[in-house]
């Protein structure tokens, strides 16, 4: 035990504290606002105003443990585990459709339940896919400038997307698709090949709309939510009311009016509306700054990482956070059609929180390696040591 804590201590001496504190600040903000946004509905629906907060606290503690575990491990173990991890992720995504494990909610099968424990496989799949891409694209046998060498990434990406869209979960699918493009981009795939990859995506959108026409109605709703104030437009209108009510400085912590059942998913996908209502544009600005700091640090880390694998891994993780945050922000403010995607670190949801905190653990792990390297001054020397 003391060996473990000593090792953790040595690691902690070298990690990027700004990254750590950005992440922990977001988690704490999340706990405060999950409570603020949910206590009324929790009391109404479960008779316990701490119902959501309790679950989120458990998620945060689990997340903290996982994060520290990830900081401790030798990051190269993940490199060896990438294949089993991606296979297990895909299997878990398949498990969602098996009645015994499946939990259905709002007409979608997104959760797996074992006893009291339940989680969302798609949250795991995102990161497994990043790992897969990072390992594959950093493989010296792969010449990324050749088109056929990108095929494994695209195939795995499409399998994951296909499984998630069947849940159905449009927003996470879009998220994974964007992540795939992003990984190929930072992995160095020639731009023309990337454009080629975009063609199926361009074709897929109208087909998806044709298959499930309600998507078109949803698509239109964000342009003029007041055209269908009780149906498609409702969620967005309520989000706008919340943000508008916030004004410059907000109505004050816990004083949101929209959380009184007016705004659905106030504690999860639309938690930012409540934050905007209670803390105003000033609060939103500060929050955005924290996210941008996190992303800046993540990208900086990626550029300084000792090798291409770690560079792609930390870059990928950073952009999972960036993509998902941006989609959530755009949905809440009505820039894009409303879809349900949680705000990283903040929205209610245990799996998401644990996964994002663990992912930050990877970034912190990498940052400690960078720091060690900087101390010794010459990057290639530490690189050799790592590769031993």
Partner 1 sequence: MHITNLTVRKRLLVALITAIFLFLGIFTRFFYIQVVWGKQLRQKAVDQWTRDLPITADRGLITDCNGNVIVNNVTAYTVYVRAKNVVDADKVSTILSQHLNIDYDRIYSKVTDKSSSEWTIKRQVSADTVSALREYNLEGVYYATQSVRNYVYGDFLTQVLGFVSVDSVGQTGIEAYYDKYLSGIDGALLTQSDLVGKELYDTSMQYVAPIDGFTIQLTIDCIIQQIVENVLKVAMQAHSPKHVQCVVLDVTNGQILAMAQNPSYNLNDIPRDDISTLMELSRNTIITDIYEPGSTFKVLTAAATLEESRKGNPKAFDENHVFTNNSDVRYLDGTKIKCWTKHIGNKHANQTLAMALNHSCNPIFTDIALALGTQTFYGYLQAFGYGSKTGVDFLGEQAGLLVDEQSVTVNDLARIGFGQTIAVTALQLAVATAACVNGGYLYQPYFVKQIIDPVTGNVVKTMYPTLINRPISQETSKLLATMLQGVVTEGSGKQAYIEGYQVGGKTGTAQKYVNGAVATGKNISSFVGFFPASAPKYLCLFIVDEPVGVTYGSVVAAPYTRMIFQSIIDYYDIAPIQP
Q: Is 367 in the site for partner 1 (CB under 8 A)?
A: no
Nearest to 268 by CA among 203, 342, 351: 342
Q: What are the contacts of 377-386 at 24+ separation with CB within 8 A?
A: 379/306, 382/306, 383/306, 383/307, 386/76, 386/306, 386/307
User: Are the C-beta atoms of residues 307 and 359 closer than 8 Å to each other?
Assistant: no
Closest approach of partner 1 to the CB of residue 24, in Å: 21
The stretch among 16-24, 211-219, 294-302, 356-364 that binds partner 1 (CB under 8 A) is 294-302
Q: Is 361 in the site for partner 1 (CB under 8 A)?
A: no
Give 81 or 330: the residue with its C-beta nearer to partner 1: 330
Q: How many residues bind to partner 1 according to rule CB under 8 A?
A: 54
| Structural tokens at position 83 | 């294949």
Q: What gap in Å lies between CA 231 and CA 235, rounded to an integer?
A: 8
Q: Is 295 in the site for partner 1 (CB under 8 A)?
A: yes
Closest approach of partner 1 to the CB of residue 226, in Å: 9
- Window 161-190: residues binding partner 1 (CB under 8 A): 182, 185-188
Q: Is 315 in the site for partner 1 (CB under 8 A)?
A: yes
| Structural tokens at position 27 | 């988690």
* Interior/surface letters 19-43, b for 16+ CB within 10 angstroms, e for the rest: bbebbbbbbebbbebbbbbbbbbbe
In the list 120, 122, 138, 150, the residue contacting partner 1 (rule: CB under 8 A) is: 138
Q: Is the peptide bond before 168 cis (omega within 30 degrees of 0)?
A: yes
Q: What gap in Å lies between CA 173 and CA 339, rounded to an integer?
A: 11
User: Are the C-beta atoms of residues 120 and 127 closer than 8 Å to each other?
Assistant: no
Q: 363 - beta bridge partners?
A: none
Closest approach of partner 1 to the CB of residue 140, in Å: 4
Phi, psi angle pair for 284, to nearest 5°: -60, -40
Q: Is 296 in the site for partner 1 (CB under 8 A)?
A: yes
Burial of 172 (0-12, 13-18, 19+ CB in 10 A): buried
The stretch among 21-29, 66-74, 159-167, 309-317 that binds partner 1 (CB under 8 A) is 309-317
| Structural tokens at position 21 | 């504190």
Closest approach of partner 1 to the CB of residue 265, in Å: 13
Q: Is 244 in the site for partner 1 (CB under 8 A)?
A: yes
Q: Is 197 in the site for partner 1 (CB under 8 A)?
A: no
User: Are the C-beta atoms of residues 328 and 213 closer than 8 Å to each other?
Assistant: no
Q: Is 72 in the site for partner 1 (CB under 8 A)?
A: no
- Window 82-121: residues binding partner 1 (CB under 8 A): none
Q: Is 75 in the site for partner 1 (CB under 8 A)?
A: no
Q: What gap in Å lies between CA 134 and CA 15, rounded to an integer?
A: 21
Closest approach of partner 1 to the CB of residue 384, in Å: 11
- What lies within 8 Å, CB to CB, of 159 at 6+ separation is 90
Q: Is 246 in the site for partner 1 (CB under 8 A)?
A: yes
The stretch among 7-15, 168-176, 297-305, 351-359 that binds partner 1 (CB under 8 A) is 297-305
Closest approach of partner 1 to the CB of residue 285, in Å: 7
Q: Is 241 in the site for partner 1 (CB under 8 A)?
A: yes
The stretch among 63-71, 128-136, 156-164, 281-289 that binds partner 1 (CB under 8 A) is 281-289
Q: Is 302 in the site for partner 1 (CB under 8 A)?
A: yes
Q: Is 276 in the site for partner 1 (CB under 8 A)?
A: yes
Residues near partner 1, by CB under 8 A: 40, 44, 138, 140, 182, 185-188, 240-241, 243-248, 257-258, 260-262, 276, 280-281, 284-285, 288, 291-292, 295-296, 299, 302-308, 311-312, 315, 319, 322, 326, 329-330, 333-335, 379-380, 383
């Amino acid at each position: 035990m003391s060996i473990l804590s000593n090792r953790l201590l040595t690691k902690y001496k070298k990690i990027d504290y700004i990254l750590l504190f950005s992440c922990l600040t977001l988690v704490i903000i999340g706990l405060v606002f999950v409570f603020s946004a949910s206590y009324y509905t929790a009391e109404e629906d479960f008779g316990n105003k701490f119902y959501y907060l309790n679950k989120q606290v458990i998620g945060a503690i689990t997340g903290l443990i996982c994060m520290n575990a990830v900081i401790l491990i030798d990051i190269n173990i993940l490199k060896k585990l990438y294949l089993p991890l991606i296979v297990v992720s895909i299997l878990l995504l398949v498990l969602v459709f098996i009645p015994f494990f499946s939990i259905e909610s709002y007409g979608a099968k997104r959760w797996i339940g074992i006893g009291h424990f339940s989680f969302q496989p798609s949250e795991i799949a995102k990161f497994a896919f990043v790992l897969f891409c990072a390992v594959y694209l950093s493989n010296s046998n792969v010449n990324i400038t050749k088109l056929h060498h990108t095929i494994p990434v695209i195939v795995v990406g499409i399998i994951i997307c296909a499984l998630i869209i069947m849940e159905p979960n449009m927003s996470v699918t879009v998220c994974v698709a964007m992540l795939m493009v992003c990984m190929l981009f930072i992995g160095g795939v020639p731009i023309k090949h990337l454009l080629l990859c975009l063609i199926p995506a361009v074709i897929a959108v109208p087909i998806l709309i044709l298959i499930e026409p309600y998507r078109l109605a949803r698509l239109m709703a964000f342009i003029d939510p007041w055209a269908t104030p009780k149906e498609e437009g409702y969620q967005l209108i309520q989000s706008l009311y919340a943000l508008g009510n916030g004004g410059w400085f907000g109505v004050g912590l816990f004083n949101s009016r929209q959380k009184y059942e007016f705004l659905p998913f106030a504690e999860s996908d639309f938690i930012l509306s409540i934050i905007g209502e209670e803390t105003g544009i000033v609060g939103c600005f500060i929050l955005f700054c924290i996210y941008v700091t996190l992303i800046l640090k993540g990208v900086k880390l990626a550029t300084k990482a000792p090798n291409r694998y770690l560079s792609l891994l930390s870059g990928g993780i950073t952009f999972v956070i960036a993509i998902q945050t941006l989609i959530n922000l755009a949905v809440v403010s009505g820039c894009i059609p409303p879809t349900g995607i949680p705000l990283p670190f903040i929205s209610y949801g245990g799996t998401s929180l644990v996964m994002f905190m663990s992912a930050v653990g990877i970034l912190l792990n990498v940052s400690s390696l960078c720091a060690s390297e900087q101390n010794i001054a010459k990057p290639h020397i530490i690189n050799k040591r790592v590769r031993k």
